[in-house]
Amino acid sequence: MNLLGEYTTFKEPQFQTKALTECKAVIVDDDKSSQLVLAAILQDIIITECSDNSLNMVEFCLESKPDVVLLDLNMPGKDGITVCRELKANKFTANIPVIFITGSGKPEDQDRCWEAGASDFIVKPVVASTLQHRVKNIVLSKLHLDLLTEQTFRDPLTGLYNRYYMNAEIPAIFKHCVREQVNFGVMMIDIDNFKSFNDTYGHLEGDNCLAQVASALKNTLRRPQDKILRYGGEEFAVFLPNTDREGVGQLAKAMCEKVESLNIENSNCGSGVITISLGFVVSKPDYQTSLAGLVNEADLALFEAKMAGKNQGVGHRL
């Protein structure tokens, strides 16, 4: 059996950001020569990708995941103002900085760019050093903001999402399931006999144990839309959109087996190793269903799993 302190050294998850040279700028311009000039100016500081199609730029950015968009003002199909507004209206592209690059120096055109949500405005002909410095400063500011957001939403011990993320982001996922009339599953998970584990092996080993269990639980999930977070102490919550009861039950079984297979010594329980208890609920929610109610119901199922002998999952259906 693996007593964590004998074989592992605990390291807190490091919140890291990309280097500037790993970032990407998307250049949107219907003029190929303009694309080439801008890409050449930026090639030494950032990855560049060019597009002359402004019609589906939100979808393009969702796939390409740029760190900044350089946008021409006047283009066929959709003009830059419309594209910028669409990017800012989409939750997943709203935080991408937009720099307008255009031959128009009219004050009213600049006002339209700011009102659409632009981060900057550069008039052609572009001065190479000006473009490089503005792109660099804007992308570095975005990376700094991304890092702060990551730190806000993550538990520093386990690297999982935290309660703040649950309150800020999970309701939107839940509401989407309500609108689409699909199932929504909630799990509540607790490490068995964790207080006695801390008392016996010490809090450093307790931190090691939490980090190992959190990693095992996270690695059991297979879909990007499934979210796991540290609910508090030794308790975890999992949110599973568009999942039926059989699927949640199978996942619960897999999680219990995965944690037990870590083989973390715990002399305070009958199995001799760390295990978890798990409660879950699956519902097809409507506009009268509350997310808090589902969490409470899963917590009740967790209590039943504890009372039934631990190291197992118990499910409720609503």
CATH of residue 45's domain is 3.40.50.2300
| pLDDT reported for residue 2 | 52
Q: Which of 119, 153, 187 is where one domain is finished?
A: 153
Does position 13 have pLDDT exceeding 70, yes or no?
Answer: no
Q: Which of 118, 153, 188 is where one domain is finished?
A: 153
Q: Give a yes or no: residue 124 inside a domain.
A: yes
Same domain for 184 and 281, yes or no, is yes
Burial (Cβ within 10 Å: 0-12, 13-18, ≥19) of residue 144:
exposed
Same domain for 262 and 167, yes or no, is yes
DSSP 93: T
Q: Which of 105, 132, 153 is where one domain is finished?
A: 153
Catalytic residue among 6, 12, 150, 234: 234
CATH of residue 192's domain is 3.30.70.270
Nearest to 204 by CA among 11, 38, 1, 73: 11
Question: pLDDT by residue (tens digit) across 27-58?
Answer: 999 889 999 999 999 999 999 999 988 898 99
Mean pLDDT of 114-139: 93
Q: How many domains does the chain have?
A: 2
Mean pLDDT of 63-77: 91
Q: Give a yes or no: residue 15 inside a domain.
A: no
Contact 32, 53 (CB under 8 A): no
Describe the crossing of helices 194-201 and 203-220 by its angle, rounded to 10 degrees: 140
Same domain for 119 and 219, yes or no, is no
Same domain for 136 and 194, yes or no, is no
Q: Which residue has the higher pLDDT, 170 or 104?
A: 170
Same domain for 227 and 135, yes or no, is no
Same domain for 172 and 112, yes or no, is no
Measure CA of the first residue to CA of the last residue in the chain; give whole Å.
40
Q: Give a yes or no: residue 12 inside a domain.
A: no
Question: pLDDT by residue (tens digit) across 232-271?
Answer: 999 999 999 999 999 999 999 999 999 999 999 988 777 8
Q: Give a yes or no: residue 6 inside a domain.
A: no
| pLDDT reported for residue 16 | 57
Same domain for 149 and 166, yes or no, is no
Quote the domain boundaries for residue 125.
Answer: 20-153
| pLDDT reported for residue 99 | 96
Same domain for 163 and 107, yes or no, is no
Mean pLDDT of 57-67: 93
| pLDDT reported for residue 7 | 40
Same domain for 171 and 261, yes or no, is yes
Question: pLDDT by residue (tens digit) across 149-175?
Answer: 777 888 989 999 999 999 988 999 999
pLDDT over 90, % of the chain: 74
Same domain for 186 and 128, yes or no, is no
| pLDDT reported for residue 6 | 43
Could you tell me where the beta strands, DSSP code E, fall in 16-114? 24-28, 47-51, 68-71, 98-102
Same domain for 142 and 163, yes or no, is no
Q: Which residue has the higher pLDDT, 99 or 10?
A: 99
Banded pLDDT at 217 (limits 50, 70, 90) = very high
What per-residue string of b and e applies to 237-275 under the rule 16 or more CB within 10 Å gives b? bbbbbbbebeebbebbeebbebbbebebbbebeeeebbb
Question: pLDDT by residue (tens digit) across 173-191?
Answer: 999 999 999 999 999 999 9
Same domain for 135 and 225, yes or no, is no
In single-letter form, the type of residue at position 147 comes to L
| pLDDT reported for residue 15 | 52
Q: Based on the residue annotation, tell me whether 246 is a catalytic residue of this protein.
A: no
State the average pLDDT for the chain: 90
Does position 1 have pLDDT exceeding 70, yes or no?
Answer: no
